[in-house]
Structure 1
Amino acid sequence: MVATLEYRDNIAVLNLGDTENRFSLEWLDSANAGLDTVLASEPTALITTGSGKFYSNGLDLDWLLANGEKMGEYVGEVQKVLARVLTLAVPTVAAVNGHAFGAGSMLAMAHDFRVMRSDRGFFCFPEVDIRIPFTTGMAALIQAKTTPQTAVASMTTGRRYGGEDALAAALVDRVATEDALVGAAIEIATPLIGKDSGTLGAIKKTMFGAAEAALLTV
């Protein structure tokens, strides 16, 4: 499965897929191509979402098990995408339509804002339970977007947050029903369209420069 890009008026919507939307090499290529198109299509804003049960289940663990010698290279490519979204020079909103686990949750955290489905789906960093320590870059990303209390609670326990719990922990900014999810993301993004991309990109790089540098160092 690959990510596909469409436009709703002048807002770019990157659909992550309709399966588990794991970050396969093909998926990473399609996501990068979508981001290239977004940056060439200003003024715009970016919304990411999935179709079905998952927003994203993160790393392609089956591929990693079969290609362990390429782990460093693969994780580096994943972190490049996270860094791109983190500092993208347009407003970004994640519309978390379903389960977001591991690197899938990190992708959502890399956005400026997050809207999560209120009635179904979990937001989770399961690394402590699946015995995969966070990389320095991944930890830096999460810590750059959460309070210290939420970082400890979410990163060291493997807790699964439903929509309302995620809102209370400030992991997301709003919750909405499934049919209103993308609309809520559009409501957030629309007033922000037209911000000067050079200025916006510079501000994000200043705010998140340390996390970006850590993500780009594997």
Structure 2
Amino acid sequence: MPYLSLTDDAAEVFLGAPGRDLDENNPENRFSLEWLDEMNRVLEEAGDAGKPVILTATGKFFSNGLDTDYIAANVGDLPAYLDRVHQLYITVLTLGAPTIAAINGHAFGAGAMLALCADHRAMRSERGFWSLPEAALNMPFTRGMAALVRTRTPDATATEAMLTSRRYGGEDAVAAGIVEQAVPGDDLLDAARETARARAGLVNANQTTIKRGLRLPLLADLHTPTPPTLL
């Protein structure tokens, strides 16, 4: 489950269990209902800390996205489930603090989109991929998810990523405009903390006001309920 670690530089939100390389109950940091509940609680606590917020994880995965086992067993609940995922994106997009994603490993699908919600993104250079596998899996994007990718990456990148399911390594992700930095894994958190220190003076409620104005059309798309006819 997600947890919060407070340092001098930032409120660090880890997407998996503390003290483990892999969470035995959710090794890929997928968006289970319980995970979403805990992530929302941790983000609220992080937002109250008065520090920049870093999103990261340990082990092989940043996040592998949607809980496909839950979806397969609860197809009728898919629209409500996706709306909860959209709400998580809205929360990160409008936090009253600078946000930095430190992408430690694979970020696929909804997990890749979560990373896009951060204001600044750094990715491990020597291993791990950022990818949107929906086209390869014959899955659609919701209106909100399509808007998120379209507005948070360059048009050519959004087109390639969404239509081809390309896997981007760290340096490729920098070249494509998905992340701003690619650094060795041992330096990843330090790079994120350096960015946090540079932006520490910007933590205030005005950040939320500015972000809502900057991202108004995207937020409107994410607030749009997912139709039952999506699939």
Range into which the TM-score falls when normalised by the shorter chain: over 0.9
1:195 aligns with 2:206: no
1:10 is displaced (CA, Å) by 4.4
Q: For residues 136 and 117 of structure 1, what CA distance do their matches in structure 2 show?
A: 29
Q: For residues 3 and 121 of structure 2, what CA distance do their matches in structure 1 show?
A: 19
Q: TM-score, normalised by structure 1?
A: 0.96
Q: For residues 45 and 194 of structure 2, what CA distance do their matches in structure 1 show?
A: 22
- State the match for 1:12 in structure 2: 11
- State the match for 1:55 in structure 2: 62
Q: For residues 58 and 157 of structure 2, what CA distance do their matches in structure 1 show?
A: 28
Q: For residues 112 and 148 of structure 1, what CA distance do their matches in structure 2 show?
A: 18
Q: For residues 28 and 209 of structure 2, what CA distance do their matches in structure 1 show?
A: 33
- State the match for 2:45 in structure 1: 37
1:73 aligns with 2:80: yes
**1:123 pairs with 116, 127, 130, which one?**
130
3-state SS in 2 of match to 1:129: coil
Q: For residues 10 and 169 of structure 1, what CA distance do their matches in structure 2 show?
A: 29
Q: Which amino acid aligns with 2:124?
A: R
Q: Which amino acid aligns with 1:12?
A: A
Q: For residues 125 and 38 of structure 2, what CA distance do their matches in structure 1 show?
A: 28
- State the match for 1:143 in structure 2: 150
- State the match for 1:103 in structure 2: 110
In 1, are the aligned partners of 2:101 and 2:115 still within 8 Å (CA)?
Answer: yes
In 1, are the aligned partners of 2:132 and 2:162 still within 8 Å (CA)?
Answer: yes
**1:165 pairs with 149, 163, 172, which one?**
172
Aligned-pair RMSD on alpha carbons?
1.0
3-state SS in 2 of match to 1:48: strand
1:161 is displaced (CA, Å) by 0.3
Q: For residues 84 and 40 of structure 1, what CA distance do their matches in structure 2 show?
A: 13
Q: For residues 196 and 40 of structure 1, what CA distance do their matches in structure 2 show?
A: 10
- State the match for 1:84 in structure 2: 91
3-state SS in 2 of match to 1:194: helix
Percent of pairs with identical residues: 45
Q: Which amino acid aligns with 1:100?
A: A
Q: TM-score, normalised by structure 2?
A: 0.91
Once the two structures are superposed, residues 47-98 of structure 1 have per-residue CA deviations (whole angstroms, 9 ceiling, x without a partner) of 0111100000000001110111110111011110011101111000000000
Identify unmatched segments of 5+ residues in structure 2.
17-21, 226-231
Q: For residues 124 and 134 of structure 1, what CA distance do their matches in structure 2 show?
A: 14
Q: In the superposition, relative to structure 1, how do residues 196 and 13 fare at CA in structure 2: closer, same or farther (>3 Å)?
A: closer
1:114 is displaced (CA, Å) by 0.5
Q: How many residues align?
A: 216
1:194 is displaced (CA, Å) by 2.5
